[in-house]
Amino acid sequence: MFHLAWFTNPRAHGWTANGADRWAGNDIHPERWQTLSFLKDMVRQLEGAGFDFIMIEDHVVLTNDKNNLEPRIDPMIVMPVLAEATRRLGIIGTFSSSFYPPFLLARQINSLDLVSGGRCGWNVVTSSEDWAAQAFGRDKQPPHDERYAIADEMLDLVKQLWDAWEPDPWEMSAETGRYVDPTKFREFTFEGKYHRSIGPLNVTRSPQGRPVICQAGSSPAGRDFAAKHSEVILCSTFGRDSVPALKEFRDDIRERMVAHGRDPDEAKVMFLISPVLGDTEEAAQARYEEVVGMTPTILAQRLGRLTLHTGLDWTKFDLDAPFPDIDPADIQGFQGFVASIKAKAKGGKSLREALCEQETTSLKLIGTPEQVADRMEAAIEEIGGDGFLMHARPLTRRYLAEVLDGLVPILQRRGLVRREYAATTLRGHLAEF
């Protein structure tokens, strides 16, 4: 069996550079998406389909591309709303290790885990954008590998904060007059290179003890961080459709986990996919062309996105010259993104050609629901595990119905994915198979 999860952003769904998808209906209107009504409907449906979790993506600032602005809502506010709308679905939010004091974030996520009955997780990102640093009153972000070192120390502290309370600390004695037993927590002082704090939190132990840690780095430093701390590891080959590349990623993560003294089955590696479904293969292919079809607007957006995520201005390169000679290790933003697009340009391709092929997903899944189910099944068999993180583009009610009422029941009939939840917590879902 394999795991299924959903990846989304709390922003205008159904909006594309080509205009609004006609199936988006009212969901693209700000007065509607900003009330989260669509997201609430969506999480109920994901739960009905037995998904492990929804992962809410985030960046703390606007893009620097004024033609492609993406206002959004803070995941910290979205998460309790989605938790209230569901009973089993895991809810993972993205929070940057660069912009939260560890004590504050540990307290907030612990609180979320408490109010959701043990269903929360934290997608740890380090944030590469200097203008995000400036928004928080600093000059610029630290270099790539140092950001991971800062996050690593933050995780050590946050875990100590989460571990400081024993379960069941309630004394509730009329005799002592105490509600809480004062011997049930550990006081401590943390003095690190980057962080200082004292514990414990004033929030008691959450149902999961430690909320689930999720991470998506693909550089050597990113993989090592994930292997040390995460229970959910997100992987995208950014459009390089290659099952061996996915297997290499998962095998490498598992080896690194062993090196950190962990059981590799403690983490699930989830591969980002965005299936395009149709009644026939031809219909699905035609929709795919519509979705990824290259227009000048989309090309400009891809350049903007590459610039945003890598911290390098790609607009300065000649689109039709051979792909620029860039070493991903010199990039201070997403190194994995650059490595993938560079791989796409192999054989003397231009930046334009590489951008035209560039996609965000890990496997090309285009076809009827049966065909897509076949490919998912075969890929997981070859890779060895663990599951898929699904991403819609654009996200519409029609897309949800196609996946949740079309594709997922086929996977369920084949016994490949869950029909009913056996556990109540996110960690319980992850550990189920």
Ligand X SMILES: Cc1cc2nc3c(=O)[nH]c(=O)nc-3n(C[C@H](O)[C@H](O)[C@H](O)COP(=O)(O)O)c2cc1C
Separation of alpha carbons 109 and 212, rounded Å: 10
* 76: nearest Cα among 52, 98, 58, 99: 58
Write the binding mask 351 to 390 for ligand X: x where contact by CB under 6 A, - elsewhere: --------------------------------------x-
Which residue sits closest to ligand X, CB atoms considered? 222
Query: Quick one: which of 402, 394, 401 has its CA closest to 22?
Result: 394
Q: Based on the shown chain and the rule CB under 6 A, indicate whether residue 204 belongs to the binding site for ligand X.
A: no
Q: Binding residue for ligand X (CB under 6 A) from 219, 301, 340, 361?
A: 219
Among 90, 239, 336, 367, binds ligand X (CB under 6 A): 336
| Interface region with ligand X, contact rule CB under 6 A, candidates 30-38, 56-64, 174-182, 380-388 | 56-64
Is residue 239 near ligand X by the rule CB under 6 A?
A: no
* Binding piece for ligand X, criterion CB under 6 A, among 52-60, 103-111, 292-300, 343-351: 52-60
User: Which of 86, 94, 368, 396 contacts ligand X by CB under 6 A?
Assistant: 94
Alpha-carbon torsion 226, 55, 160, 147, what sign? positive
Distance separating alpha carbons of residues 244 and 265, to the nearest angstrom:
20
Interface with ligand X by CB under 6 A: which range of 106-114, 163-171, 253-261, 331-339?
Answer: 331-339
91 binds ligand X (CB under 6 A): no
Residues contacting residue 154 through CB under 8 Å, at least 6 positions apart: 97, 102, 194, 195
Q: Which is nearer to ligand X, 120 or 164 (CB)?
A: 120
How far apart are CB 93 and ligand X at their closest, in Å? 9
CB neighbours of residue 216 within 10 Å = 24
Q: Does residue 8 belong to the site contacting ligand X (CB under 6 A)? A: no
How far, in Å, CA of 185 to CA of 198, rounded? 13
Nearer to ligand X, 99 or 433 (CB): 99
Q: Which amino acid, one-letter code, is at 55? A: M
Could you give the angle at the alpha carbon of 418 between the alpha carbons of 414 and 422, nearest 5°?
A: 145
**C-alpha to C-alpha distances, 264 to 4, 143, 234, 246, 256, nearest whole angstrom:** 19, 29, 15, 16, 9
* Residues of span 272-311 touching ligand X by CB under 6 A: 272
Q: CA-to-CA distance for 313 and 36, rounded, in angstroms?
A: 34
Closest approach of Cβ 215 to ligand X, in Å?
7
234 binds ligand X (CB under 6 A): yes
Q: Where are the alpha helices (DSSP H) in 169-310?
A: 220-229, 243-259, 281-292, 296-310
What is the C-alpha to C-alpha distance for residues 162 and 167, in angstroms, rounded to an integer? 11
Cβ nearer to ligand X, comparing 47 with 58: 58
Q: Which residue in the set 127, 141, 307, 361 belongs to the binding site for ligand X (CB under 6 A)?
A: 127
Return the residue of 38, 334, 388, 399 that touches ligand X, per CB under 6 A. Answer: 334
Query: Which residues lie near ligand X (CB under 6 A)?
Result: 7, 57-59, 94, 125, 127, 216-219, 222, 234, 236, 272, 334-336, 389
